[in-house]
Amino acid sequence: MNEKNNKPVVKLISKPENMLKTIYTACRTCYSADSPINIYENATDEEKMLNLIKNVVASGHHSTIEHIQVSFAISNVSRACTHQLVRHRLMSFSQKSQRYVKEKGQFDFIIPPTIEKNPELKTKFIDFMSEISNKYQEFIEAGIPAEDARFVLPNAAASSLVASLNLRELIHLANLRLCTRTQYEIRYMVKEMCRVLIEQEPWLKDYLVPKCDAIGFCDEHKPCGRKITKSELFEKAGI
Amino acid sequence: MNEKNNKPVVKLISKPENMLKTIYTACRTCYSADSPINIYENATDEEKMLNLIKNVVASGHHSTIEHIQVSFAISNVSRACTHQLVRHRLMSFSQKSQRYVKEKGQFDFIIPPTIEKNPELKTKFIDFMSEISNKYQEFIEAGIPAEDARFVLPNAAASSLVASLNLRELIHLANLRLCTRTQYEIRYMVKEMCRVLIEQEPWLKDYLVPKCDAIGFCDEHKPCGRKITKSELFEKAGI
Amino acid sequence: MNEKNNKPVVKLISKPENMLKTIYTACRTCYSADSPINIYENATDEEKMLNLIKNVVASGHHSTIEHIQVSFAISNVSRACTHQLVRHRLMSFSQKSQRYVKEKGQFDFIIPPTIEKNPELKTKFIDFMSEISNKYQEFIEAGIPAEDARFVLPNAAASSLVASLNLRELIHLANLRLCTRTQYEIRYMVKEMCRVLIEQEPWLKDYLVPKCDAIGFCDEHKPCGRKITKSELFEKAGI
Amino acid sequence: MNEKNNKPVVKLISKPENMLKTIYTACRTCYSADSPINIYENATDEEKMLNLIKNVVASGHHSTIEHIQVSFAISNVSRACTHQLVRHRLMSFSQKSQRYVKEKGQFDFIIPPTIEKNPELKTKFIDFMSEISNKYQEFIEAGIPAEDARFVLPNAAASSLVASLNLRELIHLANLRLCTRTQYEIRYMVKEMCRVLIEQEPWLKDYLVPKCDAIGFCDEHKPCGRKITKSELFEKAGI
């Protein structure tokens, strides 16, 4: 573990050259007698493009934003978190293999915040990571292959990966995982993915939000209080 | 129909900024103790990157090339062809709607080559397209909405669309649809998709080939003779 | 066309043996220390199972209902409709091929209701289908292969298919396609799919409904008036 | 750990009622003028059905077998293995949650065979699992929630899940994971999935095989010697 950074590190490594124009062309192709090549070549008015995209996304026609895919390099994320992340089946992943990459010396690990903020528990945690590391190395030295020695490695072990997804799936991911009810690590990671993308494409700011911001109310089983709940909304409306 | 162009027209409208570096980073992340951000930032030797990608693709580790997605604007393609194309479920499509876009005057159409090369049949075909157009306009004028009047429009009617897919799916599409046994229209369209992409990314030339070129023999039910068949191969090998 | 039946015909041809028990086992596995085999073997109380499933679906944990897949045989559906249907990329389709199946005599076709209810237009439509059929046969007799002769066949031409999908996707399909704003043909077809399944699994009745019934309000761009709209709801609630 | 069973336990909990008839109907629908409902109702000759399916699968028309989905209850499988398994994105999973299910007493775990066969290492491994368990309980008792205490739990920790997949994906899974180069645990698990399904549907025996048996040669990077390699095959054939 890098003491200075106990959190996922995210870098945007790839995005399409013509994000806005591509989505705009896709949206207009559905409803226009003009050819997509002409639409694309005549697309210059950025404000007009943004407005059309806003209307199309608001209307629920989300297939039009699948044409954009972005890729992130992610490191310093626990195997607990990656096991959760790779359940998003519309994403593409290339993850560091514990079968092929042997840990040399102390493996990197993530300390959960509830443990980190308690100095005593934190020390206990770090010491135990060191014990696990020793046990791993003992098995390696006894001739056990990395793919089997890793059976002692903990969920806390840090992993890294390249993850790609289209804009529709990214909005879905943000809607789900920016909710305050989400586990802190995946929430922080998704927040970072959104942040580094919005830095380069500021118009995405309004889309990469928790679900309650997108739909106007909270439909969680156990609401956090940030937004009116669905049942409160209906009650207030007298329905 | 534009008499000068009875074939699909394809333009590449979007590809990622750092194709090679992105795939290289994905490949190396799986087998390296280094972080993907470092791998990405230190990736400069193009030949080294190409070699690694070649080995990884050859080894069947195809998830690494999913990180690249490309988008094409396609027009002048029959509805017969698009009905076939949209069966590729790992692609994203935005297609001109016959429900929302009313045809004004003669609709564009595609003439199949077997008909086009016979002047008499060609005339008969074009005349009939004109009859269909008249019938469509009659229904429109009688107050029938476009979504129902289109029931008389033929498979030959031209459509246009924006189609996006990742590199893994594009290689799969090329392997399948560049086979000489494929219907001419979708084959020509996929050929064009590959051609315009290779123009900009020449290193993809070896991957965007018919299946027989990729695997070294033909496994089609009715081979075209271009390559040795699988059963001939085994026979020759005395197995 | 069969004059007595101008609408899609749907039959449920396959469903899992233990629908309820399978979903119940999936739901409980996530939150139980017990093994799924034990959970499955001790699952006997149908009411308890239904209640758990209801709560899990209400909480948005929809992956648990993916374990159920059902298959339908569908015929008498226009190619206009099937081109739309096959855009549901999480479904599996096996559709009658116009390339391989040559039409003999008058092809079957679907008459849109706006045309059918006007006797004059209906006659004009039927007569034109007969003209198209004659033109198709002329091309066939001139030696044109079926895959090219079909270029004159209309969107109205009837098709048939086997379609399979999991329960999560079926609920999504119902939510979208039972909306009164959906085109009549696909709406009728999905209604039939739901009806024949509910006949055998009545507990599904509450899930296979239009989106507005599932969420309590209408979020369509052009509402039909059946339910309060989202903006009316917020206005009424004074938000 | 149950000393008597250090391996995945698999039970088939769901399959469609009419497996053969459903696939047969799907295959025939593509090439027949008859309606799928008639095809289905007249399908009685099992041998004829098996032959057609064999030819269709051999010809590569694999979408026809997607209509069949099967569900397995799986337990006693390591988190190392499930992290690998859930990368199969065309499968549906419901997995025991380490966030919601608190371990009480010693957690179940899997001992890798390379460790199990060495009594000294085995003892060391079991003792260390007990140490990890103690550390986990210490954190729980200190008020750390299960979702964070689990950060000390190892890859060896046993998990259980319900997994469903269609026949196309199951054949793909078997082709990949029955290869002797696959990690033993997932290989054993997939073997069990195939075994329990073949017990009830013996005709599947020829399809649920390693890839080399399906294609006739080995295309692995590091072959095990069981089958002729691709390069040996071409060499023998003098190509």
Asked whether residue C111 is assigned to any structural domain, the reply reads no
Q: How far is D88 from chain B (nearest CA, A)?
A: 11
Asked whether residue B217 is assigned to any structural domain, the reply reads yes
For the four alpha carbons of C83, C84, C86 and C89, in that order, the dihedral sign comes to positive
pLDDT of residue D1: 41
The tens digit of pLDDT for each residue in A144-161 reads 999 999 999 999 999 999
Band of pLDDT at residue C1, cut at 50, 70 and 90: very low
Q: Is the pLDDT of residue C190 over 50?
A: yes
Mutate to test the interface with A, among D100, D101, D155 (most CBs of A within 10 A): D155
pLDDT of residue B133: 98
Average pLDDT, chain A: 94
pLDDT of residue C84: 95
Q: What is the 3-state secondary structure (H, E, C) of B110-147?
A: CCCHHHHCCHHHHHHHHHHHHHHHHHHHHHHHCCCCHH
The tens digit of pLDDT for each residue in D75-100 reads 999 999 999 999 999 999 999 999 99
Q: Cβ(A80)–Cβ(A175) under 8 Å? A: no
The tens digit of pLDDT for each residue in C129-164 reads 999 999 999 999 999 999 999 999 999 999 999 999
Q: What are the chain C neighbours of B153 within 8 Å (beta carbons)?
A: 154-155
Q: Is the pLDDT of residue D2 over 60?
A: no
**Catalytic residue of the set D150, D168, D177, D187:** D177
Establish whether D87 is a catalytic residue: no
Q: Considering only CA atoms, which of A168, A183, A158 is closest in space to residue A69?
A: A168
Give the whole-angstrom CA distance, residue C102 versus residue B189.
25
- The helix/strand/coil state of D164 is strand
The single-letter code of the amino acid at C52 is L
Mean pLDDT score, A221-232:
92
Give the whole-angstrom CA distance, residue D43 versus residue C126.
34
Asked whether residue D121 is assigned to any structural domain, the reply reads no
Structure tokens at C187: 């709406």
Which 8-state DSSP code applies to residue A14?
Answer: E
pLDDT of residue A56: 87
Q: Considering only CA atoms, which of D132, D162, D170, D164 is closest in space to residue D150?
A: D132
Asked whether residue B74 is assigned to any structural domain, the reply reads no
Q: Cβ(C97)–Cβ(C147) under 8 Å? A: no
Helix H or strand E segment including A164: strand A158-166
Mutate to test the interface with C, among B99, B148, B164 (most CBs of C within 10 A): B148
Q: Cβ(D209)–Cβ(D174) under 8 Å? A: yes
The tens digit of pLDDT for each residue in A161-209 reads 999 999 999 999 999 999 999 999 999 999 999 999 999 999 999 999 9
Mutate to test the interface with B, among C132, C151, C185, C186 (most CBs of B within 10 A): C151
Domain total of chain D: 1
pLDDT of residue C5: 66
Chain D: residue whose CA lies nearest to C37? D73
Q: How many Cα atoms sit within 13 Å of A10 on the Cβ side?
A: 24
According to DSSP, the residues that pair with D74 across neighbouring strands are D10, D161
The tens digit of pLDDT for each residue in C7-18 reads 999 999 999 988
Q: How far is CA B49 from CA B21, B69, B171, D228, D236, in A?
A: 7, 18, 19, 31, 33
Q: Which segments in chain B show pLDDT lower than 50?
A: 1-4
Contact C36 D97 (CB under 8 A): no
Supply φ then ψ for residue D93, to 5 degrees: -130, 140
Catalytic site positions of A: 177
pLDDT of residue B6: 86
Q: Is the pLDDT of residue D5 over 80?
A: no
pLDDT of residue B163: 98
DSSP annotation string for D34-72: S-HHHHHHT---HHHHHHHHHHHHHTT-GGGGGG-EEEE
Asked whether residue D220 is assigned to any structural domain, the reply reads yes
Asked whether residue B54 is assigned to any structural domain, the reply reads no
Q: Cβ(B200)–Cβ(B15) under 8 Å? A: yes
The tens digit of pLDDT for each residue in D139-197 reads 999 999 999 999 999 999 999 999 999 999 999 999 999 999 999 999 999 999 999 99
According to DSSP, the residues that pair with C14 across neighbouring strands are C71
Tally of CB atoms within 10 A around C207 = 20
Q: Is the pLDDT of residue C3 over 50?
A: no
For the four alpha carbons of D223, D237, D61 and D55, in that order, the dihedral sign comes to negative
Strands D92-95 and D69-78: unpaired
The percentage of chain D sitting over the pLDDT mark of 70, rounded to a whole number, equals: 98
Residues 6+ apart with CB under 8 A from A195: A10
Neighbouring chains of D at 3+ CB pairs within 8 Å? A, B, C
Q: How large is the angle between the packed helices B167-177 and B184-200, nearest 10 degrees?
A: 140
Asked whether residue B38 is assigned to any structural domain, the reply reads no
The tens digit of pLDDT for each residue in A98-115 reads 999 999 999 999 999 999
> Has this prediction a pTM greater than 0.90?
yes
Q: Domain range holding D217?
A: 212-239
The tens digit of pLDDT for each residue in A54-98 reads 988 888 889 999 999 999 999 999 999 999 999 999 999 999 999
Give the whole-angstrom CA distance, residue A21 versus residue A42.
10
Instruction: Please tell me which of the candidates A59, A221, A237 has its beta carbon nearest to residue C237.
Output: A237
Asked whether residue C227 is assigned to any structural domain, the reply reads yes
- The helix/strand/coil state of A35 is coil
pLDDT of residue A1: 41
Q: Taking an 8 Å Cβ-Cβ cutoff, which residues of chain B contact chain D?
A: 59-60, 216, 219, 221, 228, 230, 233-234, 236-239
Catalytic site positions of B: 177
Q: What is the 3-state secondary structure (H, E, C) of chain C?
A: CECCECCCEEEEEECECCHHHHHHHHHHHHHCCCCHHHHHHCCCCHHHHHHHHHHHHHCCCHHHHCCCEEEEEEEEEEHHHHHHHCCCCCCEEEECCCCCCCCCCCCCECCCHHHHCCHHHHHHHHHHHHHHHHHHHHHHHCCCCHHHHHHHCECCEEEEEEEEEEHHHHHHHHHHHCCCCCCHHHHHHHHHHHHHHHHHCHHHHHCCCCHHHHHCCECCCCCCCCCCEHHHHHHHCCC
- The helix/strand/coil state of B82 is helix
Among the residue ranges B84-98, C184-198, C219-233, the one predicted with the least confidence is C219-233
Q: How many Cβ pairs closer than 8 A exist between chain B and D?
A: 31
- The helix/strand/coil state of D196 is helix
